[in-house]
Structures are given as structure tokens and as C-alpha cells.
Structure 1
């Protein structure tokens, strides 16, 4: 098993050379009263590396299929977990923690257990990290990141997420709270705004140049 170590912030995954972008799934965790206490909509892609029978490193990229995945978990005041199980082959567990002093939450734990047919010479793959600092949000708010991002968990395990919208605490019914967007989404919004503003300025400059030139051409004529 991998040792828990601090990891860098989420990054943008490299261009796809694998199974393509996965479909988005909708996952729920209910408490003992049957009330939804954690809600997550997301598309998940698993990246793992392991040694095969010839001691060669194999990198597998696998999409989590929502129609073959079940969700379960637990909720309490300061901790919420979401476990996604795809048949008997893959089990992913997300652990969220809440700081009741600051009313801030984040994803602090991720673990995987995978038993895939192409793991020649290896019965299973497992990894975990309990020192993560991803998907930060505020109590009563949901966290959204529509952009692709990579969550590094360990040297041999990471997740790519897409179309992610999650709220692990303080839901009202089955509805997400107000949205807190990730920096990647904000950057993607800023770029078209900047480009649009630059084009508007360029059009204005051309228009002013045309009007000034037209005015000067009229000024060149004299009345006889």
C-alpha cells in the first residue's frame, strides 16, 4: 500500500490517449433517516501504474461507468465518506472532513482497491492517501469544477475528474447549495472575456481611425 504524503494542488490532465472522457455519474449517500447527506455528480477516470509478471511498469487508464457503479457511505458532523463500487473490480472511497471552527470542508482522503483482469502477476492494486487538500468549500455551499482536473493521490495512483459538482455537508433536501467554482473554471471564463474585450477595443480603434480619416478628407475641400 502507498504511504500517505502531501500532494500538490489539482492540475489539468494531459491530452487524452486512452478511453476518452468518461460519462458523468450521479451519486448519493443517505443517513439513517433516509435523508441525502452527501451528493456528488462527476465523471471519474482512474490512472494507476503497477508492475506486471515481467517486472515492467504498466499504466492503466480506466473510466468509471456510472451504470455499473453503486454508491454508499456515511455522514456525521465532521466527516463524510463516499464509496463507489464497480462490480467486484474497483472500489473508490472519498473522505471529506469539516472544520467546525471555520466551517470549511475539503477532500482529505482517497483510496482505491482494484482487481483488473490485465493485472498479470498481481492479484490486486491498492493505494491510499489521508493527507489530501482538494475540493475545498464552505459549509452550506457546493463545490463545482466543470473543467478537467487531476487529483494526485500517490506516485502510482491519480484521478481525473470532469463535470464535478459535490456537496458533502449541510444539504437541503436533494438540492445542491450555492456554488463555489474552482480556479480552473474561473480561468476558463477569464480567457474569453479578455479576448472579447481586446476585440472590442480593436473594433473601437478601427472605427475611430475611420471617422478621423473621413473628417480630415472633408476638411481638405474648399468652397469656391
Structure 2
């Protein structure tokens, strides 16, 4: 074997050895790349996973109403109705408390907006908002006449858990349909910061807090200008009236004092 052939054999061996290392390294690199791509895919899937739907949350949180002997402020819920095209046609915000008389004792239940579903429909002259939850519901019927609208009917039902183990479960229905409540000018939003109490039956009263609703003529799905309720107007105007009376009394007292002092300073006329 010549020196030249030996040199070629050594070069071939070195080339084969180098090729082996390169193939091994590329295989490892491909494996790590595939692993990293898989990890990124898993991370992306976890990042874009959607949270549980509101319906599932409602099912989880919903439970039958239980009466409380002590009142507490209810949560204020926001309820919207939409037309088939997605346009908001009715808006209502309020906190609702059921007040019941059971065996001559008062009991309370606050409607939880987190587990309450709003349904109903919007018409040109009539609109209905139905608030439903596990063990009860509350329904408003609004009517539009000429340049005003009002609440024509309120219907409610509460079916709480039994007060004791051996007691039978009872239901408490109520309805108000003899009065025109919350009358408001068309295009305006009825708003009342004061408590609104409606008698639904002899043993059942409905209390609404921070009430605000508009069933007709919403502009871009938003409330119109506020229409102040009578209760808020009275609360606002009474301090003004009392203040005006107080100022008037002070002015009368001041003028009377000045006149009296002037009269006394004149003294008696001397007779010649």
C-alpha cells in the first residue's frame, strides 16, 4: 500500500466520523425543536382556553332561597333586553328585596343578580321584563301611552326552603296591577335613589333600591335623561323649604327688633 492510499484511508475515516457526529447532533436538535414546539402548542392552548360560561356559573351558584330574619342591603343588578338584531331595547338597574310576614314575624330575601336571568320582550306599546332565579321570579309589565309610560303590572313569586325540617314548604305569590306606578315621560329614564316599596299581598312586600329603568325609546342602547322620582324630589325639596322658612323667620325677627329699637329711641314728646 502506498503512502498516498494510506492518506486517503485516514481522510475517509475522519470524514465518516465527522458525519456520524453531525447526524447525531442534528437528531438531538430536531428532537428538542419538536419538544419545544409541542410545549408552545400546549401553552397556547392553555392561554386561549375560555373560562366557564355564565350559565355554568349560574348552575353552580344557584340555590333555593332561604329567608333571613334580619334585613341587609341587596346587590344592584343590571338587566338588559335585546332585539333579534342585538340592539338593546330595555335597560333596568335595581336591587330587590322580598319582605315576608310569616307567623307575625318579618323575614327577608335579597335577589342575587349573579344567579338571575333576564328574559322578556320589547314591543312598541308594551314591554315585559322577567327576572328568574332558582325558587322565584319577578316580572314587570310596562305600558306606553301617548307621551308617557308606566309600570302597569308587577308579578312576583318566592318559594323558599322550609323554616324547619318538619315544616311544609310554602310559596309566596304576589301581584300588583291596580295602580300606574313609576309614571315617566317618554324618552326619559325613571330613576329613584330612595327605597320603593310595593305591596304585593297582605303578607308580601317588594322593596326596590337604586331603581333605574327605561323600557322604550333608548338612544344607542343607553339610558336617557333622568326623570326624578317623587320620593327623591321630596327629600331634595324639604331641606330647601326648611332653609327658606328659617331665613324668613330670621328676617322677620331682625326687622321686628330694628323697628322696636327705633321706636324706643324716640322717647316721649315734651309738652310745652
TM-score, with length taken from structure 1? 0.73
- Of 62, 65, 79, which aligns to 2:126? 79
Matching residue of 2:45: none
CA deviation digits over 1:95-126, x for unaligned, max 9? Answer: 11222xx2322111222232211353125333
CA–CA distance in 1 between the matches of 2:219 and 2:93? Answer: 16
Are 1:109 and 2:161 counterparts? no
- Structure 1 residue 182 displacement after superposition: 2.0
CA–CA distance in 2 between the matches of 1:58 and 1:204? Answer: 51
Are 1:97 and 2:97 counterparts? no
- Structure 1 residue 169 displacement after superposition: 0.7
Question: Which consecutive unaligned segments of at least 5 residues does structure 2 have?
Answer: 1-68, 268-272
The alignment partner of 2:155 has SS state of strand
- Structure 1 residue 140 displacement after superposition: 1.1
Relative distance call for 1:215 and 1:42 in structure 2 (3 A) is: same
- Structure 1 residue 217 displacement after superposition: 9.7
Structure ranking higher in strand proportion: 1
Structure ranking higher in helix proportion: 2
CA–CA distance in 2 between the matches of 1:47 and 1:135? Answer: 20
Matching residue of 1:53: none
Question: Which consecutive unaligned segments of at least 5 residues does structure 1 have?
Answer: 1-16, 51-55
CA RMSD of aligned residues (A): 2.8
- Structure 1 residue 58 displacement after superposition: 6.0
The 5-angstrom pairing of residues 140-219 of structure 1 reads 140-205=187-252, 208=255
Greater RCO structure (CA 8 Å; 6+ sep)? 1
The alignment partner of 1:169 has SS state of coil
CA–CA distance in 2 between the matches of 1:187 and 1:62? Answer: 28
CA–CA distance in 2 between the matches of 1:130 and 1:210? Answer: 58
- Structure 1 residue 59 displacement after superposition: 4.4
Matching residue of 2:180: 133
Matching residue of 2:43: none
Query: Number of matched residues?
Result: 196
The alignment partner of 1:196 has SS state of helix
Does the 8 Å contact 2:161/2:169 carry over to 1?
no
Relative distance call for 1:49 and 1:31 in structure 2 (3 A) is: farther
- Structure 1 residue 206 displacement after superposition: 5.4
Does the 8 Å contact 1:78/1:98 carry over to 2?
yes
CA–CA distance in 2 between the matches of 1:169 and 1:96? Answer: 9
Matching residue of 1:23: 75
Relative distance call for 1:67 and 1:207 in structure 2 (3 A) is: farther
Does the 8 Å contact 2:187/2:224 carry over to 1?
yes
The alignment partner of 1:110 has SS state of strand
Q: Which moved more, 1:179-188 or 1:56-65?
A: 56-65
- Structure 1 residue 214 displacement after superposition: 8.2
Q: Which moved more, 1:106-115 or 1:56-65?
A: 56-65
